[in-house]
Amino acid sequence: GSEANVQQQQQQQQQQQQSPGALGNDEDRGGGSRGLEGQDPEKDDPVHLKRRVGLVSGVALIVGTMIGSGIFVSPSGLLIRTGSVGMSFVVWTGCGLLSLCGALAYAELGTMNTSSGAEYAYFMDAFGAPPAFLFSWVSTLVLKPSQMAIICLSFAQYAVEAFAAECDPPQEIVKLVALLAIVLILLVNCYSVNLATGVQNAFTAGKLFAILVIVAGGSYKLVQGNTQHLHNVFESVEETTDGVAKTVFNVGKLATAFYTGLWAYDGWNNLNYVTEEIKDPSRNLPRSIMIGIPLVTLCYALINVSYLAVMSPLEMIDSEAVAVTFGNRILGLMAWLMPVSVAVSTFGSANGTLFAAGRLCFAASREGHLMDCLSYVHVRRFTPAPGLIFHSLVAGAMVLSGSIDSLIDFFSFTAWIFYGGAMLALLVMRRTRPDHPRPYRCPIVIPVLVLLISIYLIVAPIIDKPQIEYLYAAAFIAAGMLFYLPFVKYRYVPKFMEGVNVFLQMLLEVAPTAAAFD
Ligand code: ARG
């Protein structure tokens, strides 16, 4: 075990010296360092995929990631946080525009540096290794697991709701089901890569079906004349109840409403993680973004209108699972269809999120940014089992300790620090590398605007209502630096890690990639 390890590290270093990388300093990212020297990496390495993502699959990759749990869970929360139907529409649309602008800036970054890894790659180019390390540290330990936890909790909410009719199911049961979902998805992903992608495709269909049913049902009701909830939309929902606030114009409060909305749109940068696999990226990356994100924004607007064609804003706020209430109102005997297809949709998103997380964990540890053992793959199944297990454990802990809403705030706060960072990276590179080819150049106002908004999104919630979660997130990012110096920069490996590595290899039947392919 440890011999193969050393060998792998040596190869890694050689690779770093050999490949100049897209911008000259992004050595250890690209296709290399898998311990496959002298072999054709395209043929043997399961992680190095060919360029097979065209325009259609590019759009599908964006749309499929963005549409997950949010649109089935967030509309109620957004209504509570904005206080009126009109304001919630403003925020929904604003989130779509913000995602589109962010993604256009990412299109410039992604066509400039065509190696996979999104933020990681851009931080490396613009700011150097430490910020890039911090990104991989936070995304493996916080961002990906919290995504997984939120989606699985939403899955559980719908799966349980299907049996609980219109009353509130106990939280313990929801959490238990969420944990079961994590375990099941973990097993699928450890079992085989093909099974995981198969599940992904089948479940994406379930998601599109759910959306189609909602929009069709809503349109039917609208045509029948059920438009009463769409008049006077800026009227506060409060008149009829005491619990809900008036239309919120307070900018601090609106920031958390944006968190809720932006969760539903998260994934707009997803294509940038796989740039190496896109055919003709300088054309297809910007195009997929320009088609995919407006498409999702349109779907979300239609779905929100459909919900309101069937229930009042108050009923929407009271409903734990809007899509279920929707189904109960208009699908009659087929009402069970709604929770089932939403559960299918969320299960699929969770599967895709773990799939990507395993890959990220695998790549970051392979580059010496996380523990070696996390980069091992199963000797026969070629799945990155240790990374997957690790993510699932962290996600499980988050499920136990948080609620959907608190996790979404925690996630969005942390994510927008890095999205803002990427905007800064773009602006910095316009100065430091003015002559580097930019096949797609986005208008400079876009990154400036998104940067300002992300500063607002990070600062406003802290001022408005300081939550301990924000402190955790900030402390966690800072803690990354404590690890960076000894373990990454100076490559210090504590003695006991050797033992842990060997033990894990035997327990899980995993090995460093070099050995796995010998
Ligand atoms: N927007 C998705 C949802 O509403 C979540 C996407 C999570 N992000 C990701 N990159 N997988 O559930």
| Residue 416 buriedness (CB in 10 A; 0-12 / 13-18 / 19+) | buried
Q: Which atom of ligand 1 is nearest to the CA of 353?
A: 11
Q: What is the reported pLDDT for 491?
A: 67
Reference 143, options 433, 353, 455; nearest CA is 353
Choose one of 138, 143, 151 to mutate for the ligand 1 pocket test, by most ligand atoms within 8 angstroms of C-beta. Answer: 151
**Phi, psi dihedrals of residue 262, rounded to the nearest 5°:** -65, -25
**Close Cβ partners of 132 (under 8 Å, ≥ 6 residues apart):** 120, 121, 123, 124
- Name the DSSP class of 84: B
Assess whether pLDDT exceeds 50 at residue 41: no
Percent of the chain whose predicted confidence (pLDDT) is above 70: 81
Q: CB 191: neighbour CB atoms within 10 A?
A: 14
pLDDT of residue 518: 36
Going by pLDDT thresholds of 50, 70 and 90, the confidence category of residue 381 is low
Please determine, for residue 192, whether its predicted confidence score (pLDDT) is greater than 90. no
Global pTM value: 0.83
Atom of ligand 1 nearest to the CA of 154: 12
In this prediction, residue 462 carries a pLDDT of: 86
Contact at 8 Å (CB) between 168 and 320? yes
Q: How far is the CA of 346 from the centre of ligand 1 (A)?
A: 9
Mean pLDDT value across residues 91-102: 96
Ligand 1 binding pocket (C-beta < 6 A) is: 65-66, 68-70, 147, 151, 263-264, 266-267, 270, 349, 353
Confidence of residue 439 (pLDDT cuts 50, 70, 90): very high
Between CA 235 and CA 215 the distance in angstroms is 25
Model confidence at 46: pLDDT above 60: no
**pLDDT digits over 57-74, tens only?**
888 888 888 998 899 988
Which region among 83-87, 180-184, 196-200, 345-349 has the lowest average model confidence (pLDDT)? 196-200
Cα 265 to ligand 1 centroid, rounded to whole Å:
7
- Highest average pLDDT, of 271-280, 349-358, 435-444, comes from 435-444
Contact status, residue 420 vs residue 458, Cβ threshold 8 Å: yes
Helix (H) or strand (E) holding 510: strand 510-511
Q: Among 427, 402, 95, 110, which residue's Cα sits nearest to residue 261?
A: 95
Confidence of residue 50 (pLDDT cuts 50, 70, 90): low
Residue with tokens 């962290």: 394
What local confidence, expressed as pLDDT, does residue 411 receive? 92
What is residue 39's predicted lDDT score, i.e. its pLDDT? 38
Average confidence (pLDDT) over 281-288? 92
Check if the beta carbon of residue 455 is closer than 8 Å to that of residue 255: no
Q: What pLDDT is attached to residue 238?
A: 57
